[in-house]
Amino acid sequence: MPGLVPGIHVFLLGGTKDVDGRDEPGHDETKVPQDPAKMPLRLIFMGTPDFSVPTLLELVAHGHEIAAVYTRAPKPGGRGMKLQPTPVEIEARRLNIPVLTPKTLKTPEALEEFRAHQADAAVVVAYGMILPQAILEAPKLGCFNLHASLLPRWRGAAPINRAIMAGDAESGVMVMKMDVGLDTGDVAMAERLPVTDAMTVSDLHDALSRLGADLMVRAVAALERGALQLIKQSETGVTYAAKIEKAEARIDWGKPAREVLRHIHGLSPFPGAWSEIAGEGDAARVKILRCALADASGTPGSVLDDQLTIACGAGAIRIIELQRAGKGPMKAAEFLRGTPVGAGARFL
């Protein structure tokens, strides 16, 4: 998305720098060995959602042999609830790469099948399944994960959402050699980018997906040369990105406007932060997908004008895009043409 990622900073972790950039000479640094005669690498790719696809495509474009793609099994969806393959499976089949969708990797049979690919390394991007120790040790160079945060901040399932919701000023991606812990492996490379108040999860997701694909390709290139340096994560600044729960989605208009905005953007487009518009009958629930800070004030939840400016505990936001139940996303002006909401109305 042009314009969303100004000032990107790229760095290779090594020397005596910790992953948070501080001088810390006590940290251990290791280098992953490689036989220079075996280039390019033979890889297993493990990923599931849209976020993973650019990395798969970049690895293929750079000439790496993808021995197999592991992804989650198709799930029912859409009209007729037909089985829907994952975005990664769709791309892998288009590229004529063998696809595997095991329910578990913990059985001896799964391990034997994994080893049979004789991969130099595995690349893991939002796979969605825990890799047991035996799987992690199967490729001779290890398994390398692309994580969408600046570790050790936001380990876990929802780092993009949590970074926005917490008001973080920056985010990024890191390549990590996996161990059995939750995103605790040694880190090799990272890219940072600013997070602005205008960014939704969708915006940041797409930017990090592209940055991560490029970063992983460069990490794999360093792995080929035997030049990939690993450094342990800092023991300070650890936070966990818990899975988003539906109960978190209701908007609390009593909070300051910037917190409300970040809450809305941190849940957009899914599951979507919601509120209800008070009326004579049943309150109408709407998801608010995009908004901006507004220079106004009033009783929290009250509509201040005819442009969907809503008062918060301190300050106000102006709704830019929203969605009614059973309808598609729409701009505020389009919504107001069908649902007049003027000054004095209330969001609950």
The full set of domain ranges for the chain reads: 9-241, 246-338
Angle at 245 (CA atoms; ends 239, 246), nearest 5 degrees: 150
User: Measured between alpha carbons, how far is 298 from 292 in angstroms, rounded to an integer?
Assistant: 16
Please give the chain's pLDDT, 348 residues, in tens.
333 333 333 444 433 233 333 333 334 556 655 544 446 899 999 999 999 999 999 999 999 999 999 999 999 987 788 999 999 999 999 999 999 999 999 999 999 999 999 999 999 999 999 999 999 999 999 999 999 999 999 999 999 999 999 999 999 999 999 999 999 999 999 999 999 999 999 999 999 999 999 999 999 999 999 999 999 999 999 999 999 999 999 999 999 999 999 999 999 999 999 999 987 567 789 999 999 999 999 999 999 999 999 999 999 999 999 999 889 999 999 999 988 899 999 999
- Asked if the bond preceding 36 is cis, omega within 30° of 0, the reply is no
**In contact, 232 and 28? CB cutoff 8 Å:** yes
Residue 330: CB atoms within 10 Å: 17
User: Measured between alpha carbons, how far is 113 from 136 in angstroms, rounded to an integer?
Assistant: 14
DSSP 176-215: EE--SSSS-S-EEEEEEEE--TT--HHHHHHHHHHHHHHH
Burial label for 109, CB within 10 Å (0-12, 13-18, 19+), is: exposed
The CATH number assigned to the domain with range 246-338 reads: 3.10.25.10
Pick the CATH number of 9-241 from 3.30.2320.80, 3.40.50.2300, 2.40.110.10, 3.40.50.170: 3.40.50.170
